[in-house]
């Protein structure tokens, strides 16, 4: 079994200048650790792409034309029935196999634009989005109001452990 939690496929070479593989590994491990899961026992696939590729995926899987910053495909539906409730825990993996949590795609162009617009370092913004994507894989969402509060609170806690500021703080840097 591999000790890497993330398996990153870099389609857009601009991601290499950011060191996405290391950022993704750190963000995923911090998320899993925070939620009491063993990072070494889990696997998350990450596609590092551009806006054109993520727009195609967004249209195909969400019926939404145009690019977005991050997409997630959980391996299993862990979403709670009740708004604000904790998601289910992932099912145990087969012995000797990693617990496959799902896939995340992240778009360079949109992330870079958002980071500029928000006056944030790109690495901080991308770390937040990987944490966000990992939480989606684990059944967290932000469609219902209480679910959104829970997800945002957990994101802020994880990012604080990584030494990053609250991405939802509108008071500026």
CA distance 128 to 28: 10
Taking the model in full, what pTM does it have?
0.95
Task: Give the number of other Cβ atoms within 10 Å of residue 44's Cβ.
Answer: 31
pLDDT, one tens digit per residue, over 4-18 is: 999 999 999 999 999
Closest CA to 137 of 81, 61, 70, 84: 70
Confidence of residue 173 (pLDDT cuts 50, 70, 90): very low
Q: What are the structural domains of the chain? A: 6-161 (3.40.390.30)
pLDDT at position 170: 67
**Dihedral sign of CA atoms 130, 131, 135, 137 in order:** positive
What tens digit of pLDDT does each residue of 84-126 get?
999 999 998 888 899 999 999 999 999 999 999 999 999 999 9
Count of residues in the chain: 173
Question: How confident is the model over 23-44, as a mean pLDDT?
Answer: 97
Longest dimension (CA), the chain: 48
CB atoms within 10 A of CB 90: 20
What percent of the chain lies above the pLDDT cut of 90? 91
The answer on whether 136 is annotated among ligand-binding residues is: yes
Question: 104 in helix, strand or coil?
Answer: strand
């Amino acid at each position: 079994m591999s000790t890497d939690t993330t398996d990153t496929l870099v389609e857009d070479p601009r991601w290499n200048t950011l060191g996405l593989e290391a950022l993704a590994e750190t963000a995923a491990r911090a998320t899993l650790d925070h939620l009491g899961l063993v990072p070494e026992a889990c696997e998350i696939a990450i596609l590092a792409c551009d806006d054109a590729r993520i727009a195609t995926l967004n249209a195909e899987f969400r019926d939404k034309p145009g690019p977005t910053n991050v997409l997630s495909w959980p391996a299993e539906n862990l979403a709670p029935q009740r708004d604000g409730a904790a998601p289910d825990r992932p099912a145990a993996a087969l012995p000797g196999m990693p617990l496959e949590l799902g896939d995340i795609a992240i778009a360079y162009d949109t992330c870079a634009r958002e980071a500029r617009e928000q006056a944030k370092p790109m690495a901080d913004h991308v770390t937040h989005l990987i944490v966000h994507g990992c939480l989606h894989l684990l059944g967290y969402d932000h469609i219902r109001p209480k679910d959104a509060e829970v997800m945002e609170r957990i994101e802020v806690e994880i990012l604080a452990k990584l030494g990053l500021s609250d991405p939802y703080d509108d008071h500026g840097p």
